[in-house]
Amino acid sequence: MVNGYTGNILRVDLTKEKISIENLDEIFCRRYIGGEGFVAYFLLKELKVGIDPLSPENKLIFATGPLTGFAIPGTGRNSVGAKSPLTGGFGEAEVGGHWGAELKHAGFDAIIVEGKAKNPVYLWINDGKAEIKDATHLWGKITGKAEEIIQKELGDKLVRVAQIGPGGERLVRYACIINDLRNAAGRGGLGAVMGSKNLKAVAVRGHKKLEVNNKEKLRVKIKEYHDVAYKTYAGYFEHGTGGGIMEMFAESGNLPTRNFRDGNFSGAKALDPSIMKEEINLTMDACYACSIRCKKVVEIKEPWEVDPLYGGPEYESIGAFGSNCGIDDIKAVCKANELCNKNSLDTISTGVSIGFAMECYENGILTDKDTNGIKLNFGNAEAMIQMVEMIAKREGLGDILAEGVKRAAEKIKMGADKFAMHVKGQEIPMHEPRLKQGLGVGYTISPTGAEHMANMHDTSFISERAIALHSALGILEPLEMDDLGAKKVRILTYYSNWRNLSNALLICYFLPWDYIDIPEIVRAVTGWYTSSWELMKVGERITTMARVFNIREGFSKNEDWLPERFFQPHTSGALAETKIEPDKLKNAILMYYKMMGWTEEGIPTKTKLQELDVEWVSQYL
């Protein structure tokens, strides 16, 4: 334990207007790593059981990882966590951009925000110091305006801002937190938690030089990376996520279409950013220290004006506002995405909520009266954009949809729940579980509800090249996508633990860093003599702690389940005869529990917690 990496936490009590700094020892940092690991630790350790996520008793945690702030491609991310107002359980999301690196340069690894400010405030963190500043004048402002004012009043255009827009202020249950106007800590409604605390923004500036333990080793790794990256990731350089794959996704059945109802989508090509490049004036941007530059920036003049300040849509946003709403207009998608970034709304949950409303509308469950006359049919781009604005403002139907599809369906009644595509209250992202059935199991057991960021994607394990890579995890054979047997569950178990580790290290998935590179990079940066074994166990530790948090909050295995829709085939297309078999799903979930060392009820055992070196967590069982 030499050459130790340690950490600093900035603790801000908004109620008492008190700021303090805590030092984290090296063993703590190594055991929980950062990011999602810190979130899991502090939520379990410090939150009272059963609190309202939108009450002052919730805590909002911003956390970086040990690699954050170094000039290492793929590490320009940070994590945000809290008890989720969308699911009532473990809430955590990661976000790219520059903010996390800036926080590290300002001398902090994490921030814990407690209580609630009397009036709107923002936090100003500057080279080891922090202060709570009035934000009354910023409240109600869209993100772009607020950032402009903050940078102006702090007199520094390089101040980095993580903030909420009006959606977060109005406690939309899936409001996100926006970094640098274009990067979202998207899922779980963390922006609503920020809003509930009257915290408009966290502005950060730092100049601290970070020390690398072994510069030469790190240099070699980054060189290796560049050699691979330019060959392997050409598509990402040019048009980011979604580029060049939309039609293929539609044909394979992976592209969610009309609220996950239909099989294929003839408008997929028109949604492809690699084909529509000129229509949307596509250019590319990058996160801190990253050479991949996969972040889209779009600029459109008409029929909707889309401001390039707010970046452009990722694949998830294209799917959610495009095919999932039956819309084949990439410009409309770009506008919806821009509105989400202005207002701090999660694009997946927003799009899926609108798709849900469209299906309700087409089935007569919602009428023109409910929509204030908006013709909310699948494919109506203008209506979709209007709905985004209504959700941000909580106007009319928007106020209901702002609660997420689970609560909206409970309110709407009339059988609307069969159109509510969620797990644990969180809307399902843009990967079809009937195609990627291992992912389907992953949706059910993910502690944050349906999500694609801590999960397996069956397609990633079927090519010879992929198997060669994943063999480092002991995955030696390809499997069919609709396989739900023990070998598939084994992959899910290992891989979701790895992803939770990645969400603690804050390593981007779109890079050629893998199971062998990452321990080497962590070693080079921190001086820890770490291995893939140790790091995989950190991932398993985090997965398990998040599970314990949910159990403590009253979740049981009953919430680990998919919407009924997925037990029927698509209406057409490649999956017209493919569905998930409920018995197989049930069995796969049970195998997952047991492979994780949990009981058949999905409850981690005390011995498993001891084996993971976190016996203290067993007090919460």
Task: Write out the residues near a second copy by the rule CB under 8 A.
Answer: 1-2, 27, 30-31, 464, 467-469, 471-474, 476-477, 486-487, 489-490, 493-494, 515-516, 519, 523, 528-534, 536-538, 591, 594-595, 597, 605, 607-608, 610-611, 613, 615
Distance from C-alpha of 620 to C-alpha of 611, rounded to nearest angstrom: 16
Nearer to a second copy, 311 or 512 (CB): 512
User: Residue 220: CB partners within 8 Å, gap ≥ 6?
Assistant: none
We find the least distance from the C-beta atom of residue 29 to a second copy, in angstroms, to be 10
We find the least distance from the C-beta atom of residue 615 to a second copy, in angstroms, to be 6
20 sits in which H/E element: strand 18-24
We find the least distance from the C-beta atom of residue 472 to a second copy, in angstroms, to be 4
We find the least distance from the C-beta atom of residue 126 to a second copy, in angstroms, to be 34
| Residue listed under structure tokens 């350089």 | 237
Burial class (CB in 10 A: 0-12, 13-18, 19+), 577: exposed
We find the least distance from the C-beta atom of residue 554 to a second copy, in angstroms, to be 26
We find the least distance from the C-beta atom of residue 32 to a second copy, in angstroms, to be 11
Nearer to a second copy, 248 or 516 (CB): 516
Nearer to a second copy, 252 or 530 (CB): 530
We find the least distance from the C-beta atom of residue 201 to a second copy, in angstroms, to be 37
For residue 388, give both structure tokens: 């985004």
Question: Are 595 and 490 spatial neighbours (Cβ–Cβ below 8 Å)?
Answer: yes
Residue 507 identity:
I
Nearer to a second copy, 456 or 473 (CB): 473
We find the least distance from the C-beta atom of residue 542 to a second copy, in angstroms, to be 13
Nearer to a second copy, 164 or 548 (CB): 548
We find the least distance from the C-beta atom of residue 246 to a second copy, in angstroms, to be 31
We find the least distance from the C-beta atom of residue 522 to a second copy, in angstroms, to be 11
Burial class (CB in 10 A: 0-12, 13-18, 19+), 468: exposed
Residue 313's nearest CA partner among 289, 285, 290 is 285
Question: Are 512 and 213 spatial neighbours (Cβ–Cβ below 8 Å)?
Answer: no
Nearer to a second copy, 63 or 614 (CB): 614
Crossing angle between the packed helical segments 486-505 and 517-526, to the nearest 10 degrees: 30
We find the least distance from the C-beta atom of residue 621 to a second copy, in angstroms, to be 15
Nearer to a second copy, 282 or 617 (CB): 617
Question: Are 95 and 179 spatial neighbours (Cβ–Cβ below 8 Å)?
Answer: yes
Beta partners for 23?
8
Among the residues of 84-142, which ranges form H helices? 99-105
Distance from C-alpha of 608 to C-alpha of 621, rounded to nearest angstrom: 12
Nearer to a second copy, 149 or 595 (CB): 595
3-class DSSP state of 124 = strand
Distance from C-alpha of 451 to C-alpha of 358, rounded to nearest angstrom: 22
| Residue listed under structure tokens 């049981």 | 556
Among the residues of 527-581, which ranges form H helices? 532-552
| DSSP secondary structure letters along 465-484 | HHHHHHGGGT--S---TT--
Nearer to a second copy, 322 or 539 (CB): 539
Question: Are 444 and 436 spatial neighbours (Cβ–Cβ below 8 Å)?
Answer: no
Distance from C-alpha of 515 to C-alpha of 594, rounded to nearest angstrom: 24
User: Residue 78: CB partners within 8 Å, gap ≥ 6?
Assistant: 35, 62, 63, 64, 65, 68, 94, 95, 99, 100, 103, 179, 185, 506
We find the least distance from the C-beta atom of residue 313 to a second copy, in angstroms, to be 35
For residue 2, give both structure tokens: 């030499």
Nearer to a second copy, 36 or 346 (CB): 36
We find the least distance from the C-beta atom of residue 446 to a second copy, in angstroms, to be 19
Question: Are 110 and 34 spatial neighbours (Cβ–Cβ below 8 Å)?
Answer: yes
Residue 536: count other Cβ atoms within 10 Å of its Cβ.
Answer: 18
Distance from C-alpha of 42 to C-alpha of 47, rounded to nearest angstrom: 8
For residue 614, give both structure tokens: 């976190």
Nearer to a second copy, 142 or 473 (CB): 473
We find the least distance from the C-beta atom of residue 534 to a second copy, in angstroms, to be 4
State CA 558 to chain mean position distance. 23
